Structure 1
Amino acid sequence: MNVAHTVGIIGGGQLARMMYQASIGLDLNIALLAEGPDVSAARVVHDVTVGDYTEAQVVKDFAATVDALTFDHEHVPTRLLEELEVTGLAVRPGSGALVYAQDKALMRAKLGGELGLPSPRWRICPDAEALRAFGNETGWPIIAKESRGGYDGHGVWRIDGPDDCGEPFQESLEVSAGERVEIIGEEFVDFTRELSVIVARTPEGECVSYPVSETVQEHGICVETTTPAPGIGPDRQDEIQRLGRDIASALGVVGLLAVELMERRDGEVVINELAMRPHNTGHWSIDGAVTSQFENHLRAVSGLPLGDPTARQPWCTMRNVLGGRPDLTAGIAHVGRDGGLKVHFYGKTMRPGRKVGHVTSYGSDLADVQARARSAAAYLMNE
């Protein structure tokens, strides 16, 4: 088996930071292309290049120093990744797969159209009038999204009626990388909860699934996950995990795939979005699974066999720390008295609402596990 001993990561956020942590036990070398010298991952990785991931020569020069390339985010221009693949570089997950996480319109056409997988009704809307017509046909409210570039609630609008349809078109629809951005209208799904399933897949097609997680979103930001999702029996778990594996196989994903889902009131799930990298809804796996999502991503990217994704405890809750008290040392010391709780901070400057870390609790009692995670996160956020 050929192993890529040096893995390049584009993007210097907390996902790259946690990938670096996982690389140590695997004895992999990590090179980082970071947005700046003080971003989260650049504060811990030894081999750091600072540069703009949208500039072709910067990315090509960086790629020439690594055996395989992966990502902290999905924003590297698709055409640039295609050029790198022509040179023989192992780009993971691969441009042909990643484009479906980069472009929501292409994703909808592929998953809901060609593959017939459960998806909301949707349509590309070139202007406010087209969005208004979609809403009139579908029923109000509807959701409008930028096809590229949105994250954590940015580039997403709830449109309550015809008079609000101009809002998504008031801003420029050209991203810095020069990729075309469109507005898509989507059916408003009256869901009871949101779920996530994460799978890891190797170039040879080996694929493993993590337990399905229930996620809690506030203002478009994930604030909490509980794994496994309460109230989902073994057969339903298997069905949703199989959906994740089927998508990874159909798209040719190499590495991690996170499938965000909405559960309708009748129990049916529909696909919301995809991510092809470690994902916030998988952070629980660092402490709660036999093999973390970060380790399995690197295993897949570098050509190593995948590890066991099984949960270590019956329940695990992850709670994000959004902003926080200035004295982190005292805060960590306080919550550290709970032996069933783990704290992870990302080396970021504190700012209200910013993801600066997360806490994970685990055990055999669901209510207790959730209460401990929530209490610890609230304390660290000085609430």
Structure 2
Amino acid sequence: MAHTATILLLGSGELGREFVISAKRLGARVIACDAYDNAPAMQLADGREVFSMLDGAALRAVAEKHRPDYIVPEIEAIRTEVLAELEAEGFNVVPSARATQLTMNRDAIRDLAAGELGLATSRYRYAESLAEVSEAAAFTGFPCVIKPVMSSSGKGQSKVDGPDGLAGAWDYAVAGMRGDRARVIVEQFVDFDYEITLLTVRHAGKDGAGGITFCPPIGHR
């Protein structure tokens, strides 16, 4: 059977597994990648590649080997600058290499929101050592939240109520971070009532033009 497209899936966890199920229903051929063999998405995919996606040379080699129609990043620990290079060479990164670079790095997305777009955010500073964490906390005030600039599922994140908790929070952040950057964001704690998830879908329109659809917001208390 001819496939509708070949997809290189970068990350093969449980979310990746759900993606493979949906992609194969649409007739796609999926090559699932991760740093360990027999990951959940690999169990259903058409092929697999086992390598660290922080290894830029290995990432490029796999992309050039399979020449996929789409490259879909699913995990945070990816050498995103290589994705940008591949996109510039004609590979289709979904949704885009820039979107991947921004959303997988908390400092990049914060710089975009607060710096380039001028949006109101909580007070924050970045830190790459315990001494810098202490300086940042003095700026934000207590309580504050300390997060690795790259992590997933809340790993490495702490709410700190006073100076005595900074050392433990720094160690916890370093232990829980993904990637290879020992960097955290220290930000003012915001006592909010609820948060909102707004799912967005980029798609081709009926006339062939692209579009973006915003799903109804989901509130979380």
Give TM class, smaller chain. Answer: 0.7 to 0.9
Distance in 2 between residues matched to 1:15 and 1:93, nearest whole Å: 16
TM-score, scaled to structure 1: 0.50
Secondary structure in 1 matching 2:193: strand
Alignment correspondent of 1:232 = none
Instruction: Say whether 1:60 aligns with 2:60.
Output: yes
Residue 209 of structure 1 is matched in structure 2 by: 214
Residue 154, structure 1, aligned to residue 155, structure 2: yes
Distance 1:84 1:213 in 2: 35
User: 1:183 corresponds to which residue?
Assistant: 184
Matched letter for residue 211 of structure 1: P
Q: How many residues align?
A: 212
Where in structure 1 are there 5+ consecutive unaligned residues? 217-383
- Please, which moves more after superposition, 102-111 or 34-43? 34-43
Deviation at 1:184, TM superposition (A): 1.5
The alignment's TM-score, normalised by the length of structure 2, stands at 0.83
Q: Is residue 36–residue 42 contact of structure 1 (8 Å, CA) maintained in 2?
A: no
- Secondary structure of the equivalent of 2:7? strand
Q: Distance in 2 between matches of 1:61 and 1:110?
A: 31
CA separation of 1:196 and 1:188: change in aligned 2, threshold 3 A: same
TM-aligned CA distance change 1:9 to 1:123, over 3 Å: same
The amino acid that maps onto 2:194 is: R
Question: What is the rounded CA distance, in whole Å, between the counterparts of 1:170 and 1:13 in structure 2?
Answer: 26
| Counterpart in the other structure of 1:144 | 146
Q: Corresponding residue for 1:85? A: 87
Separation in 2 of the partners of 1:210 and 1:67? Answer: 26
- For 2:142, give the aligned amino acid: W
Query: Which letter does structure 2 place at the counterpart of 1:6?
Result: T
8 Å Cα contact 2:136-2:186 kept in structure 1: yes
Where do 5+ consecutive residues of structure 2 fail to align?
A: none
Change (3 A) 1:75 1:205: farther
Q: Structure 2 CA distance, aligned partners of 1:157 and 1:120?
A: 16
Q: Are the aligned partners of 1:105 and 1:184 in contact in 2 as well (CA < 8 Å)?
A: yes
Distance 2:217 2:174 in 1: 34
Alpha-carbon separation, structure 1, partners of 2:56 and 2:125: 32
In structure 2, distance between residues paired with 1:83 and 1:130: 33
Give the distance between the partners of 2:72 and 2:130, measured in 1 at CA. Answer: 37
Partner of 1:39 in structure 2? 39
Q: Quick check: which has more Rg, 1 or 2?
A: 1
1:132-191 deviations in whole A, cap 9, x for unaligned?
A: 34434433110011112x11221211111012222343369597754x332221110101
Match of 1:70 among 69, 72, 76: 72
